[in-house]
Amino acid sequence: MRFTNDLLGGVLSGSFDHFWSADLVYNGEARLLNVPLTDVVFREDGNRKVQQTGSCRIVWTDPFGKAMSPRQVTDAFAPFGAQLRVYSNIVAGPFLQRMQYGVFDITDVPSAYDEDMVFRGVVVSVGSVIDLTLAEQLASVGQETFDVPTPPSQLASAWAEAAVISGLQLSRTLDDAAITRSTMYKESKLDALYELFDVILDGVPHMTADGTLAGRPNVWPAPVHTLRRGEGGQLVRVGAAMSAEQVYNRVAVRAISGEQRSILAVAEVTSGPLRVRNRDGSRSPYRARTFYQSSEFVTTRAQAQAWADSTLPQVSTLRAQVIPVEMTFDPRVERGDVLTLERLRGDMTVRVRTIERTTRGTQQLTVEVGQ
């Protein structure tokens, strides 16, 4: 979860108002402070490589009558390196908490205009309306490529290598490990970063609220928050949904060697409705649905088996039941959080996959149900 304290937690379980604001930042320097944001939509999706995206509108009046709609690459809101440091502001009577929500690159300006007038013979702007499309900083990493096949800069530390690949500040939230072998990165720096986290650190890249690169563990950690119904609770509605899409019951790790690929390791679901085969060896009703993976970091059968065994729960049972949840607005909750969901039929342990937030008093989640 993002920044939290007991006082804020108490406020968020009661009656409060909230609004969005941002600081405009370029090259680490704040250019404009406390810019109000309207028409806000922020989405988080833990299954995407660029996990946080958003859009907003800025209505701004410059004290010197300057038109703020970007027309050149050096203008304030131009999508060429400018960032928004976004804040969620919680208000309840005299209480005000300005909580940093995330650091986002401005990736597009789909619409912008200035309202101009003539004052003493000079054209001045009385206001600018600017629509922005935003994405977390991993989007910029995704735009960078290796010019030629490139080996790791060193093998002693996966976190040090993540810093070299991404160019981002780090929060080392996963245990460090040595890189198993020297290999050659292909074109995409973002693909290389995700492979490094998955195979070596057993996690997923995760941009934190302060704009540093951290990691979420693939293995579910302990619950960090409880959603309750009723007075003082945040739970509004729990839906029901189920899909077989992207639910696998078999993981196969392929070796990378020349034109032919051999299988180094296999992990299978052997019991229950997602079993690969029946006891007599015949096909199960769900049949075999194989998730293939390969990495140049994995060369031995022991490494491959460990990777397959750790991946199978993530692509099988934990994807089998994903349900929609509506809760009151709480900017502390983020993708990857493990929550306890209180229900009359028994509590559930869930992990947040997606979140959608606007200016409304509620937010929409999809959560994976633990088995």
| Cα 236 from Cα 18, distance rounded (Å) | 18
A 10 A CB-CB count for 217 gives: 16
- Per-residue pLDDT at 257: 64
Nearest to 249 by CA among 227, 271, 265, 229: 271
The full DSSP string for 134-154 is: EEETHHHHHH-B-SS-B--S-
- Cα–Cα distance between 71 and 113 in angstroms, integer? 10
Q: Tokens 């072998």 map to which residue?
A: 181
Residue with tokens 């108490």: 10
Query: Element (H or E) spanning 313, and its range?
Result: helix 301-315
Torsion of CA 316, 320, 325, 329, to 10 degrees: 10
Listed in sequence order, the residues at least 6 apart from 357 whose beta carbon sits closer than 8 Å to its beta carbon are 40, 41, 42, 43, 329, 331, 363
Question: What does the pLDDT read at residue 259?
Answer: 53
- The domains of the chain, with CATH numbers, are 6-139 (no CATH), 142-217 (3.55.50), 225-242+320-369 (2.40.30), 250-319 (no CATH)
Alpha-carbon distance 313 to 65, whole Å? 58
Q: Which residues of the chain have pLDDT under 70?
A: 120, 257-261, 318-320, 371
3-state secondary structure of 207: strand
Q: What is the pLDDT of residue 156?
A: 96
Distance (Å, rounded) from C-alpha 219 to C-alpha 215? 12
Within 10 angstroms of residue 341's Cβ, the number of other Cβ atoms is 21
Residue partners of 89: CB distance under 8 A and separation at least 6 = 18, 19, 20, 21, 96, 97, 98, 99
pLDDT at residue 318, rounded to an integer: 65
Confidence (pTM) = 0.88
User: How do beta strands 29-45 and 17-26 pair?
Assistant: antiparallel
- Using DSSP bridges, classify how beta strands 122-136 and 225-227 pair: parallel, antiparallel or unpaired: unpaired
